[in-house]
Structure formats: C-alpha cells, structure tokens
Chains A and B, each alone.
Chain A
Amino acid sequence: GENVEQHPSTLSVQEGDSAVIKCTYSDSASNYFPWYKQELGKRPQLIIDIRSNVGEKKDQRIAVTLNKTAKHFSLHITETQPEDSAVYFCAVPQGGSEKLVFGKGTKLTVNP
C-alpha cells in the first residue's frame, strides 16, 4: 500500500518567517496531492491541492511544489502569522483510488 512520510513532526517559526513541510510517497501512480490544516478540536480543512500535471501551485501565502520523479511534495507558507499555528497533514490517494493515506502531521507554531 501507499506509504506517506511527513517531516518535520514539529516546526516552530517566528512571525513573518517562512515554513516548509515535506512529504514523500511510495506509489508512482499517485496523481493528486492535498494539504489539510487542522486546528485544535476542529475539522481538517483543505488549504491547497495539486494534481500531477503541474509542478507548482500558489494561493496567496501558500504554495505547493511537486517533484514526481523524486516522489515528494512540499507545502510552503510565507510571511507566517500566529493564526497559521495548527497541525498540517499531507495526503496521497492509494493507488490512484479514493482512499486517502495521510501523513502523521506537522505541528506548526508561529511565535509572535
């Protein structure tokens, strides 16, 4: 089955700095890569996703880059703000199916 590894598990940055979270996956057939943000006690919220026909996608301060050859994709958050503090999960569909396999999560803390 699909194996998704996410690093780092915790990340602490100063407000205004950038944050980068990386995920690697094993199934080369995977073609869809979403990122979810989960605040304490809340639902996972989709913040950005990318499909395998593009290498980068940007939405304001958030971007995702994809390297299909190396089988990894990364979440980039620029000009971080305290409200960016949350747990971030990457996910990959197993075998191109409907089953999302999630990484273990990265707890991001943005210090004011």
Chain B
Amino acid sequence: DAGVTQSPTHLIKTRGQQVTLRCSPISGHKSVSWYQQVLGQGPQFIFQYYEKEERGRGNFPDRFSARQFPNYSSELNVNALLLGDSALYLCASSFSSEDTQYFGPGTRLTVL
C-alpha cells in the first residue's frame, strides 16, 4: 500500500531559477495540498487542488503556482527563486478536500 510520494528528494538551485516539484497521492485520493515548512516552524499552506481545480490558496506570491493532472498527481512550480524559498516542501493527499491529510516525505529545496 503505497503512501504519498514526492520527487525529487533534494534539490539545489540558485537565485532566479525556476523549480518544479512533483507529488503522487495515495491511490484513490483525489485531493492534493502543498505546504512549505521552514526549519523550526510548522507547515504553511500553499495550495489545495481537488478534482483538478484549485480549492484554496495560502498567502504566497504569484511566483508559486500548481496544477493537478487527470491521474490526481500534482506539480508545484516556483519561479524566480529567492533565498527565502529554501525549505521543505510537503505534499499531502486526502480522499476529498475536507478529509484527513496524509503527508509525503517532502522535497528539500536549497536556494543558493
């Protein structure tokens, strides 16, 4: 029984570059949420997608965008990277938009 998977595990980028992070939800789950976790803090909500539509957006700039595919997997894109974007990016899946969320292992992004 596969859990939530994310790729890549680690990523190093330089300022100004763009990055794409990927997430595959638990089989049967239709909702994916993205969170940013800075060291020493709790996760901060970025986006939620349900049935390929954006259901919620957190307080993040337009440099952050996401989408969900017909197979319910999702991508998070971040443009014009800043040093402050360095964080652990977590994906969580749930059966529906209001159900229990289960987290993936995260992608550790370092911006130099």
Contacts and interface: CB of A to CB of B under 8 A. Distances in A.
Contact of B90 (A43, A93, A94, A103): A43
Interface residues of B, number: 25
Contacts, number: 56
B105 A98 contact: no
Interface string A65-100: 000000000000000000000000101011011111
A103 B42 contact: yes
A100 B55 CA distance: 13
B30 to A, nearest CB: 12
Interface stretch (A11-19, A44-52, A56-64): A44-52
Given A34-B100, A49-B100, A43 B105 contact: yes
A46 B102 contact: yes
B25 interface: no
Contact of B100 (A43, A46, A97, A103): A46
A100 B97 CA distance: 11
B1 interface: no
A99 B42 CA distance: 13
B100 A101 contact: no
A105 B42 CA distance: 6
Interface of A: 32, 34, 36, 42-46, 49, 89, 91, 93-94, 96-105
Interface of B: 31, 33, 35, 40-45, 48, 50, 55-56, 58, 90, 94, 97-98, 100-106
